[in-house]
Amino acid sequence: MKTTRRRFVKTVGAGALGAGIAPGLVLGRAPAVERGGGYDVAVVGAGVFGSWIAHELQRSGRRVVLIDGYGPGNARSSSGGQTRVIRMGYGDQEIYSRWSLRSLELWKELFRRSGRPGFFQQSGVLWMARERDPLTVQTLETLERLGVRHERLLRPELEARWPQIDFGPITWAILEPESGFLMAFHAVQAVARRAQRLGGEYLGARVAPPAAAGGRLGEVTTERGEKVRAGDFVFACGPWLAKLFPELLADRFFTTRQEVFYLGPPPGDERFQVGAIPVWADFAEEIYGLPDFKGRGFKVAPDRHGPPIDPDTAERTVTAETATRVLDYAGRRFPPLKGAPIVGGEVCQYTNTSNGDFLIDRHPEMDNVWLVGGGSGHGFKHGPAIGEYVAARIEDGGAVDPRFALASKATVQKRTVY
């Protein structure tokens, strides 16, 4: 079969985010057929999980093809959008704190190699707490145990450091000075590009739901009819995993519509920019935000789960109802922003598991098929650690932690990971 290749072109203003596809990614067609024997591993889905898995497998010497229907970091995916928080605090869920630590190292290394150190912004992350706040108390204990740099700040110090915040009922906080945020879709495209530089291939195509034969999968077929053969397959399709494997996941994934707002600070007011204010989270009110970066606006996003959403067909326009809630909160907590205009919005989706733990497991009937997803609104930062984890399991055939197993995913939501 003839192989046609073309470079991705930069598209301006694509989707709700204006998320262009990074130049440098090379789109391939039907490469496995060209290679006769096929690939060692085919990774379906080039969000943050799939791109890092492909990168780590390729780095360990496997022949990898990464396949995506809409492109790495596209505006429909959960990995689209301008920014994602990376924090070390996770209450008493120490595994995620350790994964965040490891991931931050790998993100920085990747950005250094890519000549883009600015894709991580060390703005600091501030956990704002009420008097009784078990999650923040547990976070403090975990950060201490793991030796993560942090400061415990009481109300007078908070007021002195950030006079632009009205702390209201907040009596104390934890500052993680070495944490911050990642440039989301840019970062995913950087990972996918790097996987290609290491020798991996990229195929822009949507894969049809696979059909098992004899307990193993031999190939997948794209909607264009190309067949891609591989020894192992990883499906890292975010919310689409439930469309590909409805019998396993239709009741176990809760895909929710999440809205993000950008508020415009007054002219000349630099108090909401990176360096002047950290990323902040107010878990008691289920809301968090990021400093204004490059003039995009001060980000405020409710973390409360929204209604169900279809990732293919959803209209990605924010609602007046959520806007009212966000403006009310911002006006209370950040008085200089009272009456500030909304200068931008994004609609994305969380793919929640019952409790917020990721899904990383083999398909119960196909030995060589991995299902990786369930980012549950906190997965982005962990892309590198997930990449390492899945690559190691494929390499050594080891068991997965029971918390990631398909069997642990219940059909009723009870969130325990924040």
- Binding interface with ligand FAD (CB under 6 A): 44-50, 67-70, 74, 77-79, 84-85, 206-207, 236-240, 244, 258, 260, 301, 348-350, 373, 375, 377-381
Nearest C-alpha neighbor of 231 from the set 215, 218, 212: 218
Task: Work out how close the CB of 89 gets to ligand FAD at its nearest, in angstroms, rounded to a whole number.
Answer: 12
240 or 272: CB nearest ligand FAD: 240
* Closest approach of ligand FAD to the CB of residue 40, in Å: 19
Whole-number Å distance between alpha carbons of 92 and 74: 33
Nearer to ligand FAD, 236 or 287 (CB): 236
The residue type of 209 is: P
Residue 77 or 93: which CB sits closer to ligand FAD? 77
> Least distance from C-beta 266 to ligand FAD, angstroms?
26
8 vs 350, beta carbon nearer ligand FAD: 350
Decide if 362 contacts 399 (C-beta within 8 A): no
SS3 278: coil
**Which two tokens mark 63?**
């022949």
Nearer to ligand FAD, 133 or 226 (CB): 226
H or E element in which residue 360 lies: strand 359-363
DSSP 8-state symbol, 235: E
From CA 351, how far away is CA 373, in angstroms rounded? Answer: 8
> Minimum distance from CB of 153 to ligand FAD (Å)?
22
Supply the minimum distance, in Å, between the C-beta of residue 65 and ligand FAD: 11
Evaluate whether 120 touches 111 at the Cβ level (below 8 Å).
yes
What is the smallest separation between the CB atom of 159 and ligand FAD, expressed in angstroms? 26
Nearer to ligand FAD, 67 or 326 (CB): 67
CB closer to ligand FAD out of 38 and 375: 375
Phi, psi of 167, rounded to the nearest 5 degrees: -75, -10
C-beta of residue 89 within 8 angstroms of C-beta of residue 97: yes
Q: Which of residues 70 and 272 has its CB atom nearest to ligand FAD in the complex?
A: 70
Torsion angle, alpha carbons of 87, 89, 93, 96, to 10: 20
Task: Tell the smallest beta-carbon distance from residue 105 to ligand FAD (Å).
Answer: 15
Comparison of 44 and 64: residue with beta carbon closer to ligand FAD:
44
CB of residue 384 to ligand FAD, shortest distance in Å: 11
Task: Give the count of alpha carbons within 13 A of 164, CB side only.
Answer: 17
What does the DSSP assignment read for 309-355? --TTT------HHHHHHHHHHHHHHSGGGTTPPEEEEEEEEEEE-SS
Beta bridge mates, 8:
none
Distance in Å, CB of 131 to ligand FAD, minimum: 26
Task: Give me the least distance between CB of 67 and ligand FAD, in Å please.
Answer: 5
Q: Are 112 and 197 in contact (CB under 8 A)?
A: no
Which residue number, 165 or 417, has a Cβ lying nearer to ligand FAD?
417
Note whether 91 and 138 are within 8 A (CB).
yes
Nearest to 25 by CA among 184, 182, 204, 183: 204
Q: How far is CA 47 from CA 50, 251, 375, 381, in A?
A: 5, 22, 11, 12
